[in-house]
Homo-oligomer: A and B are copies of this chain.
Amino acid sequence: MLDEVKVIELKQNVFKKNEVTADKVRDHLKNHKIYMINVMSSPGSGKTTTLVRTIKELQPEIRIGVLECDIDASVDAKTIVSAGARSIQLHTGGMCHMDAEMTQQGLDEMGIEDLDLIFIENIGNLVCPAEFDTGAHINISILSVPEGDDKPAKYPLMYEVSDIILINKIDAKAVFDFDDDKVVKDIHELNPKAKVFFLSSKTGEGFDTWTDWLKETVKEWKL
């Protein structure tokens, strides 16, 4: 009798709807030659600081918009607008992640005309955001040195779905035990194709490895 317990996989049903919307969002942007990047991390890893420095290095050649997603605060969108990009603040009202429908709503409200590159700054959380396709063309996750090099082992899905991992706050390395080789090895075991960049969004150290890659990618996307 115990072997006959019925098991229902809810995933397919619930996630399929989201994937259909995500593909629609992705194709629509592609048709307009706009590249969209979903940025994920724990709270405090430096998502906003990284975006601000990226915007300053890429504008005005590359025109940038940012969907700033937060449970209920509105400070990040103001910071992004100060840096010179277009931005709107999305309040998820307690939701722990963005999904494709929420992204669609954000894009409609922000307006995508005259943009080359859009960032989604996702909710600060290493679990739930990794589950949901936002409709972005690539996923980036930021791991800051003070968080520790064990994060890929502890949150494997986040690293499986991330195309690029930015190891941030390398200027703080002297005071933290952070094993670069171990973290790269752990990431590549989960996701052999992932690109890993080491940088400091505060000092700018190593930052051009990331922005060079990004400029090149956006240029190719426009062709």
Contacts and interface: CB of A to CB of B under 8 A. Distances in A.
Interface residues of A, number: 39
Contact of A11 (B12, B93, B99, B128): B93
Interface in A5-64: 5-15
A159 to B, nearest CB: 14
Contacts of A6: 77, 88-89, 109-110
Given A127-B96, A128-B96, A131-B95, A74 B10 contact: no
Given A6-B109, A7-B74, A96-B131, 10 more contacts: A5-B88, A6-B77, A7-B89, A8-B88, A8-B90, A12-B93, A15-B93, A94-B131, A95-B131, A128-B128
Interface of A: 1-2, 5-15, 74, 77-78, 81-82, 87-96, 99, 101-102, 105-106, 109-110, 127-128, 131, 157
